[in-house]
Every structure is written in C-alpha cells, then in structure tokens.
Amino acid sequence: MVDKKRKHPKEIIKAESNALNFSYADGTQALKNINLPVYENKITALIGPSGCGKSTFLRCFNRMHDLYPGNKYDGEIILHPDNTNILDKRVDPIEVRMRISMVFQKPNPFPKSIYENVAYGLRVRGEKNKRVLDDKVEEALKGASLWDEVKKRLHDLAFNLSGGQQQRLCIARALATDPEIMLFDEPTSALDPIATMNIEELMAGLKEKLSILIVTHNMQQAARISDYTAYMYLGELVEHDKTNKVFTNPRKKETEDYITGKFG
C-alpha cells in the first residue's frame, strides 16, 4: 500500500483488490489475480472486450455473486479506511452493500412510485421519519439531476419514466443512502446519446462526494469521464494507469491494439 501511495502521491486509496481470483459455479475462472486500486473521489473505468470479466470484477465489490450458490472468491478486496477484506466470510454482505451501491446496465426500478424507489434504501435501513425521507429523496433526486423533471409527480409509477430518466432514478436510489463507492455496470449502454451525456455529466459531479468504479464498453466514454483506466483481457488485468496515459501512451501492446481498434 505504501509504495502505491508513493506512485500517486496525491491519491488516497478507497478500496483495492489484492490477488483476486473468482470462479463461477460451473468452474469458469472469470478473474485471474487482479490487483487494482480504486482511488477516492476519482472515476476508475474498466474497459476490455466483451466477456473479459469486467462485470464479474465489479460485482465482487458488493458481493453480488453471493446471490448464486457455488461462486468462489479467492484473494481480497480491502475497503479503506476500515482496512477490512469485504470478501471475508465474517463480513456481512448486507453491510457491504449499504456502503457500496450499484447501478446496473439496464435500468431496473422497482414496481413502486418514484418517491418509494428513492426511499427504498432508507426504508431498508429502518428510516421511518417522513421529514427525513422527504429531504433525502429530494436531495438524491437533485443529485441525480432528476428533481426538476419529477418533482410534480413523485407518486407516479417509476415505469412511466423514459429509459434515461429511469436510469437517473436508479442513480438517485443508489445515492440516497450516501454510499462511499458507486459501481456502474455499463450504465448508458441502453440509453440514447442525450441521456448518456446527462449521466456522464452527472458522474463528473458525483465523484466530488464518492469514488466511482465504472464498466464501459465505450472507450470514448472511458476517455471522457474517467481519471484512471484499467484494461482487462480474458480475466486478467493487462494495464492500469491514469486515463490520459493509457489512451495516449499505453505501456502494453495489447492495450494499444484494443484502444486503436485493431482488435476488439
């Protein structure tokens, strides 16, 4: 940890994976010895061809793989400042998910009103005070730049929103509980260019408050929004560095080939 800090003097590590291996129940080893830091108040982008393990890696951070029996983690993901390995059997995945939230590829609002969608995480945490809920919902919707569009119909069903609005609702939902890290799995792949731009702008603002790890299939997107970029291939981490470095002067030939479109 110490030498990593020296490498990026001003950066604080929020979480890091150490020698992380992961296998699915059917034996597919999807991650091989991944060592990757996630810096505080930075956006780290994961890029690489489809099937290289980006989603698998992301979903380790909130123990999503626990939902399916037979999946196997090996190695660690240390969350700072606790210095705790969140993959440890003694760690409660629910506690982890309370601090590390996630936005999925396809917007997946709940079959509830806009208000209840955003309030969901707070209710799960036992919040009952109407005033607190109202304030938090408003704050989260503002944080997701959705407030002005929905403030007059907070009690409408969330499914009535457009795809882009639904995705921002999912961001608001994830934001409402003040997470420390937000995970995004190709959050704009189902959206049109305008909705995509909205969400990219949103993320640039969000990193003031938290750390972001985002999977994207779109290299321009990674270049536009991220501070750090990690290139993965066949379950391995090929290269990780500051985004402008990876895109202008990659160390590895494979990275260069992928970025210049010679492959992938």
Cβ closer to ligand ADP: 51 or 81? 51
Please give the residues from 25 up to 84 whose contact with ligand ADP meets the rule CB under 6 A: 26, 28, 30, 48, 50-56
Q: Where are the beta strands (DSSP E) in the chain?
A: 13-23, 29-39, 43-47, 72-79, 84-85, 100-103, 181-185, 211-215, 228-233, 236-242
Pull the structure tokens for residue 53: 């393990």
Print the binding letters for residues 141-180 with other proteins: x by CB under 8 A, - otherwise. Answer: ----------------x-x----------x--xx--x---
Sign of CA dihedral 92, 94, 99, 101: positive
Contact 202, 145 (CB under 8 A): yes
Contact 198, 168 (CB under 8 A): yes
Please choose, from the candidates 123, 122, 141, 130, the residue with its C-alpha nearest in 3D space to the C-alpha of residue 179. Answer: 122
DSSP 209-227: TSEEEEE-S-HHHHHHH-S
Number of CB atoms found within 10 A of residue 149's CB = 16
Give CA separation, 106 vs 50, 169, 185, 191, 250, in Å.
16, 12, 9, 9, 31
| Interacting partner of 170 out of Mg ion, ligand ADP, other proteins, none (Cβ under 5 to 8 A depending on kind) | other proteins
d(CA 188, CA 76): 29
Shortest Å, Cβ 142 to other proteins: 19
Residue 56 in contact with Mg ion, rule: CB under 5 A:
no
Shortest Å, Cβ 235 to ligand ADP: 7
Shortest Å, Cβ 143 to other proteins: 16
| Interacting partner of 111 out of ligand ADP, Mg ion, other proteins, none (Cβ under 5 to 8 A depending on kind) | other proteins
| Interacting partner of 220 out of ligand ADP, other proteins, Mg ion, none (Cβ under 5 to 8 A depending on kind) | none
Cβ closer to ligand ADP: 37 or 53? 53
Please give the residues from 6 up to 65 whose contact with other proteins meets the rule CB under 8 A: 62, 64
The residue nearest Mg ion at its CB is: 55
Pull the structure tokens for residue 137: 């919902």
Footprint on this chain of Mg ion (rule: CB under 5 A):
55
Footprint on this chain of ligand ADP (rule: CB under 6 A):
24, 26, 28, 30, 48, 50-56
Footprint on this chain of other proteins (rule: CB under 8 A):
62, 64, 67, 69, 94-95, 97-98, 101-102, 104, 106, 108-112, 120-121, 123-125, 157, 159, 170, 173-174, 177
